[in-house]
Amino acid sequence: MTLLREEPGCATPEPTEPAEHPSRGGASGFGPRQLLAALPAALRKLHPRHQLANPVLFVVWVGSALVTAFAVAQPSVFSVLVAVWLWCTVLFANVAEAVAEGRGRARAETLRRAKRETVARRLTAEGTEETVPGARLRIGDLVVVSAGEVIPGDGDVVEGIATVDESAVTGESAPVVRESGGDRCAVTGGTTVLSDRIVVRITSRPGESFVDRMIGLVEGASRQKTPNEIALTILLSTLTIIFLLAVLALQPMAAYSGSTQSVIVLTALLVCLIPTTIGALLSAIGIAGMDRLVRRNVLAGSGRAVEAAGDVSTLLLDKTGTITHGNRRATELVPVTGSTITELAGAAHLASLADETPEGRSIVELCAGEFDLGGRTAEVVLPVPFTARTRMSGADAGDRQVRKGALAAVRAWVADSGGTLPDEVERIADEVARQGATPLVVAERGTGAAVVRGVVRLSDVVKPGMRERFAELRAMGIRTVMITGDNPLTARAIAEEAGVDDVLAEATPEDKLALIRREQEGGRLVAMTGDGTNDAPALAAADVGVAMNTGTSAAKEAGNMVDLDSDPTKLIEIVAVGKQLLITRGALTTFSIANDLAKYFAILPAMFAGIHPQLSTLNVMRLATPQSAILSAVIFNALVIVALIPLALRGVRYRPSTAAALLRRNLLVYGLGGVVTPFLAIWLIDLLVRLVPGIG
């Protein structure tokens, strides 16, 4: 028996660092093996064209080249060692970026192995099949895929139902169900059909499939700097220019005092003054943030979305398929006075014959199973599809018109024919809604006024663990709003059971957009999860739009993130990763600026103690000689980058708390630690450096 994966996934405890599975590459740790593997790429990044992208490291690169020239022209132990460690500073910065990129390339290679060139069975205009290479498929083509065949491209199922193996993309071994209609029709190229036969409408061009884009993103090739990253780069560049001017101004002052400093000493001072630590790790922090999402089976379209997730204050959740399991099923028929249950079943069956949604199919199954209405009617049936504006669907068979839909929509349709909606219908609908189900009113009319036959109960089930997950979001300061097309009574019942903060009922796509704009006008960042085509406009307008992988292609194109597990509660982890990215960048920036203080106390007294003996009191570390002090600071400046690479890749652990508490923790741990640690480290390095002949 085939075991199917529950879709979308139920809530699971938030992992501190999720384990890797084979489809997502290697381990997340950092060790000597990864360091050695990253060295070739790090050496290639020493090219000045690459260094120009990082102003801070470019200054270090120029300083290294300048000191190297002086070391060759006037060799000494001091000049050679300073040149070597300055190049190590640039190299270690490249290693940090190369390690982060290498982890992404490993995941991309796994995806490439899973991607295969396929042959597609394309349907012609005449309805016949023709065999064509998958690379020749175009948007809108219809292809047939049967059991055992690979889906040749991204698309939507327009006919049939099948189980699909998506392990090549999601890493989950359990197959999933894909069917026409509803919000589980999207399929991904490269996945395999395990049973039955489906017809897929292609929605992507060759080379632009979901897997192709995923490969580009995890490799980091399409990663662009985020606004915060750009702002921090500008700040670091400004500090570099200020310190460069300050160091250039020191030479005239030193000459006036009779103690001209060498270019080597001035360069070492400049490199130790500018924020090289955060400048070296900035790119690795951003790449690692994207990588942490990939390891959680979330594909982010840009680093901007990851950062925005860290600042989200309002979360909009689509009810069907997100908070609830999504496949509402007809569980009961409730006729009104004057109509029999058989008449209600006949009308509901006729209205649903052409309805390919899961709800429509469930009504047909209920009527066929309990009221022996399994056969197709002999009448010519013209289907009337559901639209977001009419909020009804049904069918016309000769003079007979049957509609099913929301209470308000059916009331208006009945009134248009001169009929009236019995009070009993509203009572039944209210009772069904209070019980958390969805009432679907069925009415029909012939040559006269429309007649209401009764109500179909559609039952929806809230996913387990939702209340606890929403409590976590509330602890993060995030307000949750459930959006649904259901009537207010049903919506409130589901909202109360799930534990959301607010609800927007009978929502149209325009209502969702209006709500997002109202929230954004108040200065709040909005996140939205959804899976249907009608969610696409809201997903596009939200600051963070998370589309479910089970959803339609339109939803996945509109969102800036795709959850491969189709677990809407995954947004909690997405928010945590976003906050972790921001906190990590802030923590390492604080540490980088704070540890400059120790380097000031190491280098400045050493430079001028000879002409101003009173400056020797500032040599609190009691460093042996001016040369050992300067060299020790340069060595620490290089080694601290390597020491912080694991933290940049892993990220600072995030705990839900207030901004004030996070700031205090940041200043205490990374501010104070950034001051104390270098004093101890430089003192220990000096103990070793003073043993080198020509230095001590």
Active site residues: 318
Rounded-to-integer distance, Cα 251 and Cα 137, Å: 68
- Residue 563 marked as a ligand binder: no
Q: In terms of DSSP bridges, do strands 561-563 and 298-300 run parallel, antiparallel, or are they unpaired?
A: antiparallel
Find, among 355, 319, 308, the residue nearest to 486 by Cα: 319
Strands 192-193 and 544-548: unpaired
Q: Which tokens go with 302?
A: 């840009």
Q: How far is the C-alpha of 293 from the C-alpha of 651, rounded, in Å?
A: 12
Helix (H, G, I), strand (E, B) or coil at 686: helix
Structural element, H or E, at residue 113: helix 77-114
599 is in an annotated binding site: no
DSSP notation for 443-459: EEESSS--EEEEEEEEE
How many whole angstroms separate alpha carbon 122 and alpha carbon 519? 46
Is 390 annotated to bind a ligand? Reply is: yes
Identify residue 631 by its one-letter amino acid code: L
> Cα separation of 558 and 534, whole Å?
11
Sequence letter at residue 165: D
What are residue 161's DSSP bridge partners? 179
Q: What 3-state class would DSSP assign to 100?
A: helix
How many C-alpha atoms does 443 have within 13 Å on its Cβ side? 27
> What three-state secondary structure class fits 687?
helix
> Is there a binding annotation on residue 423?
no
Between CA 619 and CA 615 the distance in angstroms is: 7
Alpha-carbon distances of 486 from 173, 188, 438, 508, rounded to whole Å: 35, 30, 7, 10
Q: Is 355 annotated as a binding residue?
A: yes
391 annotated ligand-binding residue? yes
| Nearest alpha-carbon partner for 395 in 342, 432, 440, 442 | 442
Q: Is 389 annotated as a binding residue?
A: yes
How many other C-beta atoms can be found within 10 angstroms of the C-beta atom of residue 182?
A: 22
Q: How many Å apart are CA 639 and CA 628, to the nearest integer?
A: 16
Per-position DSSP letters for 501-543, written without gaps between them: SEEE-S--HHHHHHHHHHHHHTT-EEEEEE-SGGGHHHHHHSS
SS3 state of residue 144:
strand
User: How wide is the angle at C-alpha 528 spanned by C-alphas 165 and 661, nearest 5°?
Assistant: 110
User: Is 387 annotated among the ligand-binding residues?
Assistant: yes
Q: Work out the number of other CB atoms within 10 angstroms of the CB of residue 22.
A: 9
Dihedral sign for Cα 653, 659, 660, 661, please: negative
Q: Are strands 479-483 and 502-504 parallel, antiparallel or unpaired?
A: parallel
Read off φ and ψ for residue 511, nearest 5 degrees: -65, -40
Whole-angstrom CA distances from 534 to 139, 321, 509, 528, 554 are 20, 13, 6, 13, 9
Nearest Cα neighbor of 176 from 197, 191, 160 is 191
Q: Is 167 helix (H, G, I), strand (E, B) or coil?
A: helix
Is 550 annotated to bind ligand?
no
Q: How far is CA 520 from CA 187, 319, 401, 483, 504, in A?
A: 33, 21, 44, 17, 16
Q: Report whether 445 contacts 421 (CB < 8 A).
A: no
554 residue type, one letter: A
CA dihedral sign, ordered 134, 140, 146, 151? positive
| H helix or E strand, kind and range, residue 427 | helix 423-434
Binding residues for Mg(2+): 531, 535
Binding residues: 355, 359, 386-393, 404, 531, 535
Binding residues for ATP: 355, 359, 386-393, 404
